[in-house]
Amino acid sequence: MADIIIVGGGHNGLVTAFYLAKAGLKPLVLERRPQTGGGAITEEFAPGFRCSTLAHTAGPIRADVARSMQLEKHGLKMVQPDVRLFAPAPDGRALLLYADSQRSAKSIAQFSQHDAERYEDYHRSLGKIGGVLARLLAMTPPNIDHPSRGDMWDLLKTGKAVRDLGKKDMYRLIRWGPMAVADLVAEFFETELLRAAVAARGIFGTFLGPWSAGSSTVLLMRAASDATPAGSSAFALGGMGALTAAMSSSAQAAGAEIRTDAEVAQIRVRDGAATGVVLGSGEEIAAKAVISNADPRRTLLQLVDPVNLTPDFVVKLQHYRSLGTVAKVNLALGGLPKFTALEKSGGNGAALSGRIHIGPEIDYLERAFDESKYGQFSRQPYLEAMIPSLSDPSLAPAGKHVMSVYMQFAPYKLRGADWSSQRDALGNTVVQTLAQYAPDLPNLVEGGQIITPQDLEDTYGFTGGHIFHGEIALDQMFTMRPLLDWARYRTPIQNLYLCGSGTHPGDGLTGGSGANAAREILHDLKR
């Protein structure tokens, strides 16, 4: 019998395994694919070309998690390019945003002196508000009906931090939360390209457009991890698989066991409690507790027989929204593409080392979202791209490059078609959209990989193709993630827990869900 079984070796599962092993337990991580990593993996997708197959940047990883796991000691080397974001304008100008707000302001000034002056205030406010929200992200959501003393104490400390913001930023926090992110950025900036570039953080990976209510909350939540208006562009040398390889090494060094090619077909339940798992091979493994790093719907509606849950709970979980809107295209390039907006400055290399934003105005982003609402993928999509081989030449043959591209919006359910018939059309749309800003790119493409929302489900295990294990929206955050009354990493089945991105805080590669879950599980086991 195992102490604890963790279903899935994604980054949150590995973080949970580490903390449990560090506390003296013997967790067994079961990963169905040949390598651990979940959405943070590096694979060869064309001869000689390797890339972060799915996620191409870190959240960033929560500082306390990285410190506890000693990830650098286990071989991790992170790169944070000087340029956080490059956004080309249709008129041939280039907007560059840096970690340094003053350098960003100089770039913004070519578009608007007013915006350059307002950028510092926006950056400062994000930093102060993000610092308060970081407390919420590290908390276990309180028990709504019967809050404990610890719950009340955490909320009181957070309330004090809100008061300490001062009147101006406190009002901003209260007012901004339910707003559309388009309205938030319009309060500061007049330049459409700048508005779109900073507002995109509020819609990335979600079924939200910039005019959707509550999209500002998503932006503010992400500012809690990185207050830079442009967001993080940090990635691992060797691709993001190097991050989860370091996490695997750290967890094993702490005492965890990891098995790959071990697909869990069923979580066994007896008398209302989880008792172990059954693998696809038929092997049965008993355990004192089971923790699932899979998404909530896959865990509780597929791996668990729903007969073990109340009808009311099943219905609520069936309405938990987890249909994805993101596709991924990885390109093998014979050389570095030349973006028209950078040709005059001759800065193609340095400027392209961070994230590349394609989406020149707020209404462009909204129109891209509109198509997905009616079951079509966008023909003029919002793109977020990276060329990691600029900073890490090991990913491609000498003189060549890899390009990693997120494409929005691509709905999981297509109207009148399926993804097998639309795969090539999606890839062509991405290339042609990039060609509007880098005309030579189509001639540089030597190979590629197209990952549709259907592939995200079938190959990588994201139910509905949702990269965050469920929609990030006001009604699926904090005490309501994944469901009201079940936001504390526990499930209605005794000894069965959740630790993946379908739990609070549940956004990107931060390790927050795994660390928070481990704290609650250890509390239960000690009790």
pLDDT tens column, 206-236: 999 999 999 999 999 999 999 999 999 999 9
Residues 6+ apart with CB under 8 A from 406: 56, 204, 326, 327, 328, 383, 384, 385
- Range name among 195-199, 273-277, 343-347, 380-384 with the lowest pLDDT average: 343-347
What's the CA angle centered on 279, arms 243 and 252, to 5 degrees? Answer: 30
The residues pairing with 330 across neighbouring beta strands, listed in sequence order, are: 404, 449
Please provide the average confidence, as pLDDT, over all residues in the chain.
96
Q: Is the pLDDT of residue 88 over 90?
A: yes
Write down the pLDDT at residue 508. 87
Cα gap 461→454, rounded to integer Å = 10
Query: Mean pLDDT, to the nearest integer, of 298-307?
Result: 97
Write down the pLDDT at residue 347. 63
Kindly state the percentage of the chain with pLDDT values over 70.
99
Identify each DSSP E strand in 104-243 by its residue range: 235-236
For the stretch 487-512, pLDDT in tens is 999 999 999 999 999 999 998 899 99
Write down the pLDDT at residue 345. 61
Cα gap 383→479, rounded to integer Å = 31
Cα gap 369→356, rounded to integer Å = 19
Helix (H, G, I), strand (E, B) or coil at 462: coil
For the stretch 121-163, pLDDT in tens is 999 999 999 999 999 999 999 998 888 888 889 888 888 998 9
Residue 73 — very low, low, confident or very high, per pLDDT cuts 50/70/90?
very high
- In contact, 304 and 471? CB cutoff 8 Å: no
State both tokens at 495: 């000894």
Cα gap 20→489, rounded to integer Å = 15
Residues 6+ apart with CB under 8 A from 37: 9, 10, 11, 240, 241, 244, 245
Cα gap 315→301, rounded to integer Å = 10
Residue 402 — very low, low, confident or very high, per pLDDT cuts 50/70/90?
very high
For the stretch 313-369, pLDDT in tens is 999 999 999 999 999 999 999 999 999 999 876 566 789 999 999 999 999 999 999
Write down the pLDDT at residue 241. 98
Phi, psi of 390 (to 5 degrees): -65, -40
Q: Would you call 339 exposed, middle or buried from its count of C-beta atoms within 10 A (0-12, 13-18, 19+)?
A: buried
Write down the pLDDT at residue 122. 97
Write down the pLDDT at residue 346. 57
Q: Please state the pTM of the whole predicted model.
A: 0.96
- In contact, 88 and 107? CB cutoff 8 Å: no
